[in-house]
Amino acid sequence: MRSTKKANKSNENERWLRSPRGSNGYTKMKKWNAKSWLPIVVLLVATHVQAESLVEGSAESGKARAITCMACHGPEGISVNPLWPNIAGQSATYIASQLTAFRDGATNPQGAERHDPLMSPQSLALTDEDIRNLAVYFESLPAPAQAVANPGTVDKGQALYRGGDLRNGTAACLACHGPTGRGNPAANYPALQGQHAVYTAKQLNDYASGARTSDGKTSVMRDIAARLSKDDIDALASYVQGLR
């Protein structure tokens, strides 16, 4: 009796469909069991919601605090000056870490991971809460979309971005920043897609010279940038601008 009840219950949960197979007849196909898939669906939804931002903050409060930022980075986080970065769609983890570095560097320029004549003074007045709110707000904006800066260097830029350079040990950029330049928020690797080529080139040059040290103790970006020639940097910066 017990085995019969189990069989009946199994039949109720696992329905069968018939699908045509040629002209000779039909083949049974198992319909997916909604109950068995439910935990996986819930897990995927929960993961998506959690992935919306890894920083706790208020986008609404960030928008109100962002009025000063808009003067350089634009009302939608996309700057008109290629020397100033687009920050729309950038991960909140990265924005928060960089604003903190700028703020801390304002009082200690010599030991700063990042110091800038414009950003350091601007960030000095920000509280930790301000930084989190601003980070979440700019993360919520649509990422920029641009064409490559120089179509003539696409092949070179793509080869370096996707495969690195085995001759001098340069690592592929996509290993950390992803095939489309979306970055990795959990690892604090920034999004690069749609970033101004002029700005990207400057950051690579600053890493190469040691002027920028925000890659921390690993010095991964300084090591990679130091292996790149000027032509490499220009080609990569141009290619990154066109990622989307």
Instruction: For residue 167, tell me if it sits in a domain.
Output: yes
* Confidence (pLDDT) at 111: 82
Domain of residue 234: give its range: 151-241
Better pLDDT: 19 or 215: 215
Contact 193, 143 (CB under 8 A): yes
pLDDT (0 to 100) of residue 110 = 82
Q: Could you tell me if residue 2 is inside a domain?
A: no
Assess whether 178 and 119 both reside in one domain.
Answer: no
Same domain for 212 and 177? yes
Answer with the one of 81, 114, 139 that is the final residue of a domain.
139
Give the mean pLDDT of the chain. 85
Q: Are residues 189 and 117 in the same domain?
A: no
Q: Based on the domain organization, do 195 and 227 belong to the same domain?
A: yes
7 domain residue, yes or no: no
Q: Does 4 have pLDDT greater than 70?
A: no
* Number of domains observed in the structure of the chain: 2
Q: Is the whole model's pTM more than 0.85, yes or no?
A: no
Task: Please give the Cα distance from 45 to 65 (Å, whole number).
Answer: 31
Q: Are residues 166 and 122 in the same domain?
A: no
Question: Does residue 21 belong to any structural domain of this protein?
Answer: no
pLDDT exceeds 60 at position 18: no
Same domain, 158 and 237: yes
Is 202 inside any structural domain?
A: yes
Residue 145 forms part of a structural domain: no
- The pLDDT assigned to 114 comes to 92
Same domain, 100 and 160: no
pLDDT for 6: 46
Q: What are the DSSP calls for the chain, one per residue?
A: -HHHHHHHHHHHHS-EEEEE-TTS-EEEEEPP-HHHHHHHHHHHHHHHHHHT-SS---HHHHHHHTHHHHHHH-TTS--SSTTSPP-TT--HHHHHHHHHHHHHHHH-GGG-S---TTHHHHHTT--HHHHHHHHHHHHTSPPP----S-GGGHHHHHHHHHH-BTTTTBPPTHHHH-TTS--BGGGTBPP-TT--HHHHHHHHHHHHHTS--TTGGG-HHHHHHHT--HHHHHHHHHHHHT--
Would residue 20 count as lying in a domain?
no
Digit-coded pLDDT (tens) for 67-110: 999 999 999 999 999 999 999 999 999 999 999 999 998 988 88
Q: What is the pLDDT of residue 86?
A: 98
Predicted pLDDT of residue 47:
35
Domain containing 74 — which CATH number?
1.10.760.10
Q: What is the pLDDT of residues 133-151, one digit of tens each?
A: 999 999 999 999 999 999 9
Question: Do 158 and 84 lie in a common domain?
Answer: no
Same domain? For 230 and 168 the reply is yes
CA distance 83 to 71: 14
Whether residue 13 is contained in a domain is answered as no
Q: Are residues 132 and 211 part of one domain?
A: no
Q: Does 155 lie in the same domain as 111?
A: no
Picking from 139, 174, 209, the residue at the C-terminal end of a domain is 139
- Among 109, 139, 169, residue at a domain's last position: 139
